[in-house]
A and B are shown apart, each in its own frame.
Chain A
Amino acid sequence: MIQGIFEQFYRDVTTLPILMRGLQAAILISIVCSTLSVFVVLKRLAFIGEGIAHSALGGIALGVLLFVSGPMVQQSLGRQLGIDLTTMIFCVVVAWLIGWTSRKRIISEDTAIGIFFVASLALGIVLISLRKEYTAELFSFLFGSVLAVGMFDIYLTIVLAVVVLLAVIFFFRPMFLFCLDEELAGISGVPVGPIHYMLLTLLAVTVVVAIKILGVLLVAAFLVIPGAAARLLTCRYKHMFLIANLIGLVGVLGGLILSDVVEDLPSGPTIVLGEFVIFVLAVGWSHLRDRFFPGRQLALVGSGVVLGGYIAIFLAISAFSIAKPATARTNSIQTKSTSIDQSDWDFFIHSLKNENYSSLIRKIDSDARFVELLARRIRTLPIEQEEKQQLLDAIDTMDWASVPRTIVKKLEEER
């Protein structure tokens, strides 16, 4: 049965390029976020991560206005690059403003975050209300989706991961002093100001990239939970990075598999819940350890127990869901609101039939949820596996003209 879970996930990943990209992006993002989470926890930056994530909505709205409805770029890749860059610059500026006001002691850090993130959120809402037709796009950023990840995002994430890891390796020792005590670090010759701003910049850029998968509301979890759990398990700085990354990786894989196997689970929240379970297990373990083995760390045993516990819970849940009769699962998919709207499905077939590809591409571009549900629906269609694959490839490449007319006809008949 357990083998079945992994087989199904493997099958889905290999047949669905969109899921494969999601998996790759999620793992890369997890590495970046887990690494940064160590600093977030030690420097108490959790609220900043949250603030930057929320203010990203302002940046996205600005990007959408400039590059989608505005006169600047119309092509798909340029548009995406435009929105991403605008959001990044916006978030970095907000992060620096927060850092600057608190460093200069104009106001305290949490007050600065409270002010700037609400202001940029409000800006986002005001800007987007000017162009109502793009509200859907903005809302897809609230929760994100693994299936909204394009090839461009993968490249972006790879670059980000390389930059973050290089920065952490290069500044490994100064960052230790920076986390220990800023004044002490400054006196020891660590450039405290530049390091603070570098950390804020890395956080801002990471948040923007991670929003695609986790959404504005959940992204902070990735930046806090792995580090927080790792700190409970070890008392060594460098081991914290390893354990945080391990927790992030297990959390992402577990969450993705669960959301894929139990078909109506959204990916982002499932991953976050999984990481929360790991954190709770780590709290429990650290209590037991301090009680029965006072003064000892037992980092290796602890990590094994916590991750093992999580994997056991994960297997139990997925085994339970897979044990349900297949018909019950299909029925539930069709009756739940998480399946594609009939009107959307009609629109899809209609667009294919009339070769009205531009409106279809616009819809896919602006609504990540639509793509996800569309892919799901296609996978449950009573047509040949090969034909399904052609449709899924078309979602991937947006080359709808390559879909044979025979398939379109079949879809029409099925309706």
Chain B
Amino acid sequence: MEKNNCDMTTHLHLGHQKSESDSTMCGCEDAVVCVRDVCFSYGTDPVLEKISFCVPDQTLIGVIGPNGGGKSTLMKLILGLLKPQKGQIEVFGTPATKLGRLRSFIGYVPQRFDLDWRFPATVWDIVISGCFTKVSPFQRISGERKARARHLMAMTGVDQFIDRPIGQLSGGQQQRVFIARALVSDPKLLVLDEPTSGVDTAGQVQFFELIQTLRNELKLTMIMVSHNIGQLIHYSDYLACLNRTLHWHESSKGLDVHLIEQVYGCELREYLKRQE
């Protein structure tokens, strides 16, 4: 991990050194996402302050933090939907807001939204829509892509629902359909925004197993926002603890309860005990 020598001014994870003089933006040679000194505010309220980190290739970054801590804002910044007021964000070495065609290398799984249960689309329509922006308006979708879509549906376990209207699936099933959809365009980076919210404990365990399988098989870099700290610490390489400022934590060092408490600003011991 030493080669991922990032400039992280605020993270607590020691062992990396500041490298202002580096020619690349943050000094990471194979970083997929580089965030440097980013500040963002809606109006006068600062949401993010001096955020710096980078996501090395083929790692899973768990993003945790209290509601209103800036998690979704950070995701939007990485996805190029918002522009930072200060600092820079690079994805695949290009500024996030100027990704253009590179955008199709980002897969995105939205937070569960209230999908109209009569929305006129089958599971297949949703999954195949993942490559819509990769084909021109009158081009037919190739057999190769369709085969990939079928393979991904089998991997995510939604192949038996192929002809069912998307609105008639349960929340957890819909979530897996949207993961298959995000993977159809063969992305290098997968961003998941609170994918397990509203899913029961058994479902969450299954979900993280699926993420692990996908990660190993497809060699993906992942950023996942979740409230499930217990599972995240187990499956992720790094934890980004976000509450306006960023605390970076290496997952292999185990769960640092003090850090989590500092981020969430409350006693967590009791909560974690109950979770266990």
Partner of B165, one of A179, A190, A235: A235
The answer, among A170, A190, A237, for a CB contact under 8 Å with B133, is A190
B238 on interface, CB distance cutoff 8 Å = no
Point out the residue from A171, A177, A190, A237 that lies within 8 Å of B120, measured CB to CB. Answer: A237
Interface size of A by CB at 8 A reads: 29
Q: Write out the residue numbers on chain A whose beta carbons fall within 8 Å of the beta carbon of B164.
A: 295
| Residue A394 interfacial (CB < 8 Å) | no
The 6 listed contacts between A and B (C-beta, < 8 Å) are: A42-B119, A173-B137, A177-B133, A183-B81, A235-B118, A236-B122
B204 at the interface (CB under 8 A from A): no
| Cβ-closest chain B residue relative to A184 | B110
**Residue B175 lies at the interface, judged by CB distance under 8 Å to chain A:** no
Q: By the criterion CB–CB under 8 Å, are B110 and A181 in contact?
A: yes
Q: Answer whether A189 and B120 are a contact pair too, CB < 8 Å, given A171-B137, A176-B132.
A: no
C-alpha spacing A295/B163, complex, angstroms: 10
Q: Is the CB of B118 within 8 A of A177?
A: no
Bound-complex Cα distance A117 to B243 (A): 43
Asked whether A170 lies within 8 Å of B108 as measured between CB atoms, the reply is no
The proximity string for A residues 212-253 relative to B, scoring 1 for CB distances below 8 Å and 0 otherwise, is 000000000000000000011011110110000000000000
By the criterion CB–CB under 8 Å, are B137 and A177 in contact?
Answer: no
CA distance A342 to B113 in the complex (A): 63
Please give the residue numbers on chain B whose beta carbons come within 8 Å of chain A beta carbons, in ascending order. 79, 81, 101, 103-104, 106, 108, 110, 113, 115-116, 118-122, 125-126, 129-130, 132-133, 135, 137, 164-165, 167-168
Tell whether, in the assembled complex, residue B120 and residue A42 are in contact, meaning their CB atoms are under 8 Å apart: yes
Which residues of A174-205 are within 8 A (CB) of B?
Answer: 174, 176-177, 179-181, 183-184, 186-190
Contact A172-B133, Cβ < 8 Å, known A235-B122, A236-B122, A236-B125 = no
Interface flag for A323 (CB, 8 Å):
no
- Residues of B within 8 Å of A42, CB to CB, are 116, 119-120
18 further A-B contacts with Cβ under 8 Å, apart from A173-B135, A232-B118, A234-B120, are: A180-B119, A181-B113, A183-B110, A187-B108, A188-B132, A189-B103, A189-B133, A231-B118, A231-B120, A235-B120, A235-B122, A235-B165, A235-B167, A236-B120, A236-B122, A237-B120, A240-B120, A295-B168
Q: Are B108 and A188 in contact (CB under 8 A)?
A: yes
Helix, strand, loop or mixed for chain A's interface? helix
For residue B119, which residues in chain A have a CB less than 8 angstroms away from its CB? 42, 179-180, 235
Any chain B CB within 8 A of the CB of A169? yes
A contact residues around B165 at 8 Å (CB): 235, 297
- Docked Cα-Cα span, A181 to B115, in Å, equals 9
B133–A188 contact, CB under 8 A? yes
Q: State whether A176 and B79 are in contact (beta carbons under 8 Å apart), knowing that A181-B110, A237-B121, A295-B164 are contacts in the complex.
A: no
- B118's nearest neighbour on chain A, judged by CB, is A231
Binding site for B on A (CB under 8 A): 42, 169-174, 176-177, 179-181, 183-184, 186-190, 231-232, 234-237, 239-240, 295, 297
Q: Decide: A235 and B110 in contact? CB cutoff 8 A.
A: no
CB distance from A167 to the nearest CB of B (A): 11
Q: Which residues of B are found within 8 Å of A174, using beta-carbon distances? A: 132-133
Q: How long is the Cα–Cα vector from A297 to B121 in the complex, in angstroms? A: 12
Query: Which residues from A are CB-within-8-Å of B115?
Result: 180-181
A184 to B110, CA, bound (A): 7
Assess the B118–A189 pair: CB atoms within 8 A. no
Chain A residues, Cβ within 8 Å of B126: 180
What residues of chain A lie closer than 8 Å to B130, measured between beta carbons? 188
- Bound together, the chains give a CA A232 to CA B116 distance in angstroms of 12
Contact of B81 among A171, A172, A186, A236 (CB under 8 A): A186
In the assembly, what is the distance between CA of A181 and CA of B110, in Å? 9
Contacts of B121 in A (CB 8 A): 176, 180, 235-237
> How far apart are the CA atoms of A189 and B130 in the complex, in Å?
11
In the complex, what residues of B have CB within 8 A of residue A176's CB? 121, 125, 129, 132
A42 to B108, CA, bound (A): 22
User: Which residues of the partner chain B approach A170 to less than 8 Å between Cβ atoms?
Assistant: 137
A173 contacts B132, CB within 8 Å? yes
Closest 3 CB pairs of A and B: A235-B165, A173-B132, A189-B133
Q: Residue among B129, B130, B164 with the most chain A CB within 10 A? A: B129
